[in-house]
Amino acid sequence: MATEYLQSLEVLPIEKRDQNPPVTGSAVVFLDQKIGSPQHLASGWIYGIPDTPGQIPDEFYTEVGFRYGRGGGSQLPDTRGWYRSKADYEARFQSALSNYRTTRKYGGNFILLPSALWGADGGQSADAPYPGDNDDWSSWDDLITTWIRDAKAHDMLEGLVFDIWNEPDLHFFWNRPREQWLQLWSRTYRVLRREVPNVRISGPCFSEGPDINGEWWNEYLAFVKQDNSVPDEWSWHMEQGHGNMSTSMSTFRELLNRYSIPESGIININEYGIWAEQVPSAAVWFISQLERENAFGLRGNWTIAGSLHDYLAGLVSKPGAGTEKYSSTSTGYYPTAEYHVYKYYGSEMNGQRLKTSSNDKRDGEAYAVLGTDKVRILAGSRNATGNWAVDVRGGETVGYASGEEVDVRVLEFSAKDNHFDESEGPKELGIRKATWQDGSLRLEIHQENPLVAYAFEFAIKV
């Protein structure tokens, strides 16, 4: 198992990789359309936080603008959770409490996974009981009552989001009829609203985005409408390596409309990015997608082999990472390749967010801000090579006339073949001259490695 696991962590050298169709065309940045101040919507992650406070130094949280954590004590060695024993629950509760406190320390919100308190690990083990089996809800009701008491006693309610059940649409996590999950939803929702009204309720937490004909989505929405149990946070996942936010959001609105549910609350993609996608180009792709739709996102990878509560979901690494010498309590943390993209995003991209669009095929993306001094743009493909570009429009709004030349600073965020390798900051590719034409500036990208990302910066004149 361990060897297999370690092999799966390797990223193939470029010449051995299959290639996706080339990325072409242009993503566009609109200098004249501001969409609000940056809040680092994509700087969240599931688990990844050690249970020992302070094990990972502060700067790794603050530099990336950490916003959202999510956990519930899953995969703690020698525990199964509530369904097996009160002591197992206690251990998982303490783990979740510690992760909650770490998240709050940096001003983030924390999403609790009660399914993990109940007993889910990678998934729920096949012989595990489920809440409501044989129409007996007493054990689940007890768990909720106990958790509410513990959460109050430990001051765990502020900034807390309760994700009623993780991925009920996967047998792996919910091996029971859909109807039983809907009952779980309704019953839990009522108790939380009554006892802890400030806790935000999140769902449906499906493994896939809104699907116009999907039974899970349709039945869920019809149900919460008539049951009057609409969530405060709409959650779903982008862990399958396909899908995109534009299609998901338009389908979501169509579905809400179908069931006469007014759009409210926030969208939280509370798991995005599989292991293979924890590379600079994919980081930019997800950041751009989420920011454009004003959706929060949490980096998600249910790593196994005892390291779930470590590495900030692949942003940091340490000596022994990914080897037999791994220790969950050792320190000496350093940044991975992807970290530098999030650091640039969280620390340097200040000012106002700008409206952007992706290229036509949606595999070339950009996220951009207008600062007081400069325009800063991150660009990344969705795992493809090719010749593509970022077109910047509206040059006159920052003081450039047609025909004028501008110095563009170009940075490259390199990828590492092994995700666990230490990575230095972005590489300076130097200053490139570009010329404004009819208010537009073309920033060309010759992408030879599908995993790297770029940043472009140029001064504003007004």
Q: How far apart are CA 460 and CA 439, in angstroms?
A: 13
Closest to ligand NAG by CB, 137 or 275: 275
Q: Contact letters (x/-) for ligand NAG, 271-290, by CB under 6 A?
A: ---xxxx-x--x--------
Angle between helices 245-258 and 215-227 (to 10 degrees): 50
DSSP label at residue 345? I
Residues 422, 315: Cα–Cα separation, whole Å: 10
| Residue 437 beta carbon to ligand NAG: minimum distance, rounded to whole angstroms | 28
Binders of ligand NAG in range 339-368 (CB under 6 A): 361-362
Nearer to ligand NAG by C-beta: 89 or 420?
Answer: 420
Nearer of residues 15 and 18 to ligand NAG, judged by Cβ: 18
52-60, 113-121, 288-296, 299-307 -> range binding ligand NAG (CB under 6 A): 299-307
Any contact of residue 8 with ligand NAG (CB under 6 A)? yes
Residue in 317, 309, 300, 316 with CA at minimum distance from that of residue 46: 300
If the CB atoms of residues 5 and 437 are measured against ligand NAG, the closer one turns out to be 5
Cβ nearer to ligand NAG, comparing 208 with 291: 208
Q: Which of 51, 121, 163, 239 binds ligand NAG (CB under 6 A)?
A: 239
Least Å from the CB of residue 137 to ligand NAG: 30
In the complex with ligand NAG, which residue's Cβ is closer, 276 or 459? 276
Rounded to whole angstroms, the Cα distance separating 353 from 367 reads 8
Positive or negative, the Cα torsion across 52, 54, 59, 64? Answer: positive
Q: How far apart are the first and last CA of the chain?
A: 59
The span of 79-87, 190-198, 296-304, 315-323 binding ligand NAG (CB under 6 A) equals 296-304
E strand or H helix at 68:
strand 68-71
Least Å from the CB of residue 460 to ligand NAG = 32
Distance CA 149, CA 155 (A): 10
- The CB-of-122 to ligand NAG minimum distance in angstroms stands at 9
Residue 349 neighbours by CB under 8 Å, 6+ apart: 38, 367, 369, 371, 376, 378
Segment near ligand NAG (CB under 6 A); pick from 173-181, 196-204, 255-263, 298-306 = 298-306
Question: Going residue by residue from 160 to 199, which x/- string records binding to ligand NAG, judged by CB under 6 A?
Answer: ----------------------------------------
State the minimum distance, in angstroms, from the CB of residue 309 to ligand NAG. Answer: 14
Interface stretch with ligand NAG, choices 39-47, 157-165, 237-245, 452-460 (CB under 6 A): 237-245
Distance CA 112, CA 94 (A): 12
Contact between 121 and ligand NAG by CB under 6 A: the answer reads no
105 near ligand NAG (CB under 6 A): no
Token digits of residue 129 = 């009981």
When asked if residue 301 is in the footprint of ligand NAG (CB under 6 A), the reply is yes
CB atoms within 10 A of CB 293: 18
Nearer of residues 4 and 438 to ligand NAG, judged by Cβ: 4
Structure tokens that stand for 206 in this block: 């499906």
**Residue whose CB is less far from ligand NAG, 183 or 385:** 385
3-state helix, strand, coil in the chain (%, to 5): 30, 25, 45
Nearest position to ligand NAG, beta carbon? 274
Looking at the Cβ atoms of 18 and 127, the one nearer to ligand NAG is: 18
18 scored as a contact of ligand NAG (CB under 6 A): yes
Rounded CA separation 272/283 (Å): 10
- Residue 346 is encoded by which pair of tokens? 């969280």
- Say how far apart CA 284 and CA 264 lie, in whole Å: 27
Q: Does 250 bind ligand NAG (CB under 6 A)?
A: no
Neighbours of 145 (CB within 10 A): 12
- Exposed (0-12), middle (13-18) or buried (19+): which is 22, by Cβ within 10 Å? middle
List phi, psi (to 5°) of 256: -60, -40
Is 209 among the residues that bind ligand NAG (CB under 6 A)?
yes
Q: What residue type is assigned to position 126 of the chain?
A: A
Tokens standing for 437?
């034409």
244 binds ligand NAG (CB under 6 A): yes
Please identify, using beta-carbon distances, which residue of 109 and 358 lies nearer to ligand NAG: 358
Nearer to ligand NAG, 54 or 122 (CB): 122
Residue showing tokens 């409408």 = 225
**What burial letters (b/e) apply to 394-408, b meaning 16+ CB within 10 Å?**
bbebbebeeeeebeb
Question: Which residue's CB is nearer to ligand NAG, number 139 or number 328?
Answer: 328
CB of 109 to ligand NAG, least distance (A): 22
The footprint of ligand NAG (CB under 6 A) covers: 8-9, 18, 20, 209, 239, 243-244, 247-248, 274-277, 279, 282, 301-303, 361-362, 383
